[in-house]
Amino acid sequence: MEDQYHIIVVGGGTSGLMAAIQAAQQGAKVLIVEKNPVLGRKILLSGGGRCNVTNNTSLEQLIRHIPGNGAFLYGALSQFDQHAIIEFFQSLGVLLKEEDHGRMFPVTDRARTIVDALIDELDRLGVDYMTRTSVADIILEDDQVKGIITASGKTYCAKSVILSVGGRAYPRTGSSGDGYAWVRKAGHSVTRLYATESPLLSKDPFIVRRDLQGVSLRDVQITAWTSNQRIITQHRLDMIFTHFGFSGPAILRTSGHVNQYLYQSQESEVTLTIDLRPDQSVDELKAEAEKERDRQVSTIVRQWVPERLALFILKALDISPTTLYRQLTHGRVDDLMERLKGFPMTTTGSQPIEKGFVTGGGVNTDEVNPSTMASKKIQGLYLTGELLDINGYTGGYNITAAFVTGAVAGRHAAWNSF
């Protein structure tokens, strides 16, 4: 049967839409097959519905913020990087703005703007897409991909197939892990899947009692520790106490590392500490308090941390809030400082992968050409996005990885298909 398309892109999500556009811009005839009724469903949810399209940062910082195999992306980023993403959207008439930590959003603050622009470009380029169509399998013959079979049994053939089906996080957006069986069949290995960018669970009595539920902390430093007091990971951002444990950007960044450590060490929990005043040393805090030594200790601590946390800390240390600072012994002051610089808590790991924002693990990147995203096992097969063993922190890094791998796969698949 003659190929109807040069390229079939399986999955009309972040990386698949970019792959299709880049391939079509090279002149390829492209079909996208998407099981959802609409394209780009995860993009619509991303960045709190505003879509954090990329991060306006340096190459080194970008790679550093992709702890899951970021270095694999050097080859792709030399062809299409975070600045190319910004220019790409500008060329589609989408204006972007930069927010804190380099995060880039559409000026409309609507993810819909991004999805609409991508769909308009697909239409302009004449890309075909079928929604409500689930792919059941890929067709392989003599180490070559031949096409796909849909769940209703229809076959579509093409010279190249780009798998952009995502990982397993947030399956209600369509990324339910369908791709792993296909790539295994194609001879690829899939590294252990685990939740990243996921809230952390805790059985600490103060969490169970919900003493601090809803208390949020700005710009604190979270450290996760091994059982022999080595740092697993450290992040300075905001966090929040919840009814099940901890969440917020600093915790999300910590979560994948904690999950990996728990798996590798076979331990049941990890100790975390919060430095509630990361810009001040203990001596500086003591000097500041000393200037107000005739005031109540609760008044002083409330200047440093939210009131509920201040009262919680004093209660835990058995210090009456009405005690004057000067009445505290040196030992008690040291206890207080220790809590402020290293508020202790434990976690048993994160919420499951389905509730995390990003999948850790995926197709082994050693088996994928880093300059083209082509499979090293099957000719004509390309792999993009979260299906690969690549994961980044929130802040635009995952969407960047998806767009970059998608763009490179699309271009190379096109050049290889004529």
Ligand X SMILES: Cc1cc2nc3c(=O)[nH]c(=O)nc-3n(C[C@H](O)[C@H](O)[C@H](O)COP(=O)(O)OP(=O)(O)OC[C@H]3O[C@@H](n4cnc5c(N)ncnc54)[C@H](O)[C@@H]3O)c2cc1C
Closest CA to 389 of 78, 85, 67: 67
Cβ atoms of 387 and 66 closer than 8 Å? no
124 to 163, contacts with ligand X by CB under 6 A? 134-135
The answer to whether 16 contacts ligand X (rule: CB under 6 A) is yes
Cβ atoms of 394 and 252 closer than 8 Å? yes
Q: Could you say which of 160, 164, 242, 347 contacts ligand X (CB under 6 A)?
A: 164
Q: Is the dihedral of CA 89, 93, 94, 96 positive or negative?
A: positive
Cβ atoms of 39 and 133 closer than 8 Å? no
Query: In the structure encoding, which two tokens stand for residue 69, read together?
Result: 């195999």
Binding window for ligand X (CB under 6 A); candidates: 36-44, 62-70, 79-87, 183-191: 36-44
Q: How far apart are CA 21 and CA 16, in angstroms?
A: 9
Determine how many CB atoms are found less than 10 A away from the CB of residue 51: 28
The answer to whether 12 contacts ligand X (rule: CB under 6 A) is yes
Q: Could you say which of 9, 10, 262, 337 contacts ligand X (CB under 6 A)?
A: 10
Site size with ligand X, rule: CB under 6 A: 39
150 by Cβ neighbours in 10 Å (0-12 / 13-18 / 19+) ranks as middle
Binding window for ligand X (CB under 6 A); candidates: 23-31, 121-129, 154-162, 390-398: 390-398
CB of 399 to ligand X, least distance (A): 3
Q: Can you tell me whether residue 402 is helix, strand or coil? A: helix
The answer to whether 14 contacts ligand X (rule: CB under 6 A) is yes
Q: How far apart are CA 273 and CA 121, in angstroms?
A: 48
Q: How far apart are CA 92 and CA 81, in angstroms?
A: 17
CB of 387 to ligand X, least distance (A): 6
Cβ atoms of 401 and 385 closer than 8 Å? yes
Q: Could you say which of 21, 165, 232, 340 contacts ligand X (CB under 6 A)?
A: 165
Pick the closer one to ligand X by CB: 34 or 367: 34
Strands 343-347 and 155-163 turn out to be unpaired
Pick the closer one to ligand X by CB: 106 or 341: 106
Pick the closer one to ligand X by CB: 202 or 391: 391
The answer to whether 196 contacts ligand X (rule: CB under 6 A) is no
Pick the closer one to ligand X by CB: 42 or 235: 42
Q: Could you say which of 13, 102, 248, 380 contacts ligand X (CB under 6 A)?
A: 13
Query: In the structure encoding, which two tokens stand for residue 399, read together?
Result: 């969407």
Binding window for ligand X (CB under 6 A); candidates: 57-65, 165-173, 260-268, 311-319: 165-173
Write the binding mask 339 to 378 for ligand X: x where contact by CB under 6 A, - elsewhere.
Answer: ------------------xx--------------------
Pick the closer one to ligand X by CB: 55 or 273: 55
User: Three-state SS across 254-323?
Assistant: HHHHHHHHHHHHCCCCEEEEEECCCCCCHHHHHHHHHCCCCCEHHHHHHCCCCHHHHHHHHHHCCCCCCC
Q: Could you say which of 44, 45, 92, 157 contacts ligand X (CB under 6 A)?
A: 45
Q: Could you say which of 5, 7, 24, 52 contacts ligand X (CB under 6 A)?
A: 52
CB of 389 to ligand X, least distance (A): 12
Q: Could you say which of 106, 166, 256, 410 contacts ligand X (CB under 6 A)?
A: 166
Pick the closer one to ligand X by CB: 147 or 385: 385
The answer to whether 47 contacts ligand X (rule: CB under 6 A) is yes
Query: In the structure encoding, which two tokens stand for residue 413, read together?
Result: 């698949």
The answer to whether 11 contacts ligand X (rule: CB under 6 A) is yes
Cβ atoms of 175 and 362 closer than 8 Å? no
Q: Could you say which of 9, 24, 33, 186 contacts ligand X (CB under 6 A)?
A: 33
Q: Could you say which of 147, 360, 362, 385 contacts ligand X (CB under 6 A)?
A: 385
Determine how many CB atoms are found less than 10 A away from the CB of residue 357: 20
CB of 53 to ligand X, least distance (A): 8
Cβ atoms of 243 and 186 closer than 8 Å? no
CB of 228 to ligand X, least distance (A): 34
Q: Can you tell me whether residue 34 is helix, strand or coil? A: coil
Residues found near ligand X in the complex (CB under 6 A): 10-16, 33-36, 41-42, 45-47, 52, 134-135, 164-166, 169-170, 173-175, 178, 357-358, 385-387, 394, 396-399, 402
